[in-house]
Structure 1
Amino acid sequence: MLQVVQPNEPAYQLIVQKFGRDILLENGEINREKLGSIIFSSSEKRQLLNAITHPCIQKAMLKQIVKYFVLGYRYVILDIPLLFETNKLKRFMKHTVLVYCDPQSQLSRLMRRNGLSKAEAEARIHSQLSLDEKCQLADHVIDNSGDWENTRLQVLKLHVKLEESLDFLLLRLAAVATLTVIGGLVGFFLRQYFH
């Protein structure tokens, strides 16, 4: 989200127009803490912000996916906090991964990371599906409740599984075949036109 809300980006202009200049820092950037306090206290404001940012974020993600696909990567990791809530992008995902932690850890980590009060952190948590609901929807769950080494081992295990998967191969073959056909047709028509 950070890229699409930078000054001179279309989403930035709309956010400032809809939420006012009071949400800006002195340097002109959006004060994420102030905007967060607005949207997490009003579901209408949150929906408005999502309606502004999500199309821009999705476009930026699509560019990244195409870039890494062309570079030959077997999979791309997208960090989509509201994947299960919006349900718009899930159909494009072959695998979904949820990084889980117990509810008490979730609350304390959010308070510590964002400098939020308990009430503010709880409001943010309750604006989303519960972690248990997300666990049911995810294809893979990484339990981040324990120590860093345990989490790291789970991530490595999933990485090996995805690297060994041939899911990417069919899509890549279909893309190459499609591009070959299009290239052949363009070449054929160009030869016909110039001869």
Structure 2
Amino acid sequence: MFLIGLTGGISTGKSTVSKVFRESGVPVIDADAIARYVVEPGKPAWHKIKAAFGNSVIKADSGELDREVLGRIIFDDVDKRRILNEITHPEIHRIVYKEVIKCFFLGHNFVVLDLPLLFETGIMLNLMHKIITVTCEEDIQLTRLMDRNHLSEADAKKRIKQQMPLEQKCNQSHFVIENSGTLQDTEEQTLKILSVLQDSNQHWKIRGVIFATAAILFSSIAWILNYKYKFISTN
């Protein structure tokens, strides 16, 4: 099994591409969904965030994180953003790795990892066999973000600037999906990439390496145990 990194900029349309993969039977591990899960009330990350940022980021009625308040704090302060990342990223990556292993044992040829900050963090970058970046025109991205998150133009621009420029991400990717046009156009681009990935035999190579390594490991353990047994028997 090999890993496909799906990334892009905020509000460029990664969820649209993820949906096409899912509907085609490809497992997609969504880092954003996991990020929301790890900060649910009572979770370890939730307690750490409350301790680091105070009760102002917690909704009094439900105990959930007030994402709007927290967003304003971290996007105005680099150090606060770093603190939040140090709290949440280890929890997120732990679950991502767990899901990847599950997909491997279920026999999937490859899995798509929806990682918005793949390039920014660099943590899982070297594990990706291929990288797909979803991009769109700047004015479209800005409008989508303003509409989706109910942000002012200034706040939306500030959030976009916190991420690596889309051009740089595209230059470092194996595939680029241009999502400025129609939904059908985006779906067609995604299906073409899917066809290329399905034709790849990379998953057999990786499985072969893993099974060969496991065989060597078990053989070594068996030899050691057999040697110890003979040693004990002769003494």
TM-score w.r.t. length of structure 2:
0.77
1:47-78 deviation per Cα after TM superposition (whole angstroms, max 9, x unaligned): 11111111111111111111111111111111
Per the TM alignment, residue 182 of structure 1 is displaced from its structure 2 partner at its CA by 3.5
Q: Give the distance between the partners of 1:167 and 1:4, measured in 2 at CA.
A: 32
**SS of 2:120's equivalent?**
helix
**SS of 1:91's equivalent?**
helix
- The code of the aligned residue for 2:57 comes to I
Match of residue 100 from structure 2? 65
Q: How does 1:31-110 map to 2 (within 5 A)?
A: 31-110=66-145
Match of residue 21 from structure 1? 55
Match of residue 143 from structure 1? 178
Q: How does 1:98-137 map to 2 (within 5 A)?
A: 98-137=133-172
Equivalent position to 2:211, from 143, 165, 176: 176
Which structure has the higher relative contact order (CA within 8 Å, separation 6+)? 2
Q: Does 1:8 align with 2:24?
A: no
- The code of the aligned residue for 1:108 comes to T
Q: Give the distance between the partners of 2:171 and 2:82, measured in 1 at CA.
A: 24
Unaligned runs of 5+ in 1: none
Number of residues of Structure 1 aligned to a counterpart in Structure 2: 195
Say what the alpha-carbon RMSD is for the aligned residues: 1.9
Relative to structure 1, the CA distance from residue 71 to residue 24 in structure 2 (aligned partners, 3 Å threshold; closer, same or farther) is same
- The code of the aligned residue for 1:10 comes to P
- The code of the aligned residue for 1:6 comes to E
Q: Give the distance between the partners of 1:162 and 1:170, measured in 2 at CA.
A: 14
**SS of 1:98's equivalent?**
strand
- The code of the aligned residue for 2:95 comes to A
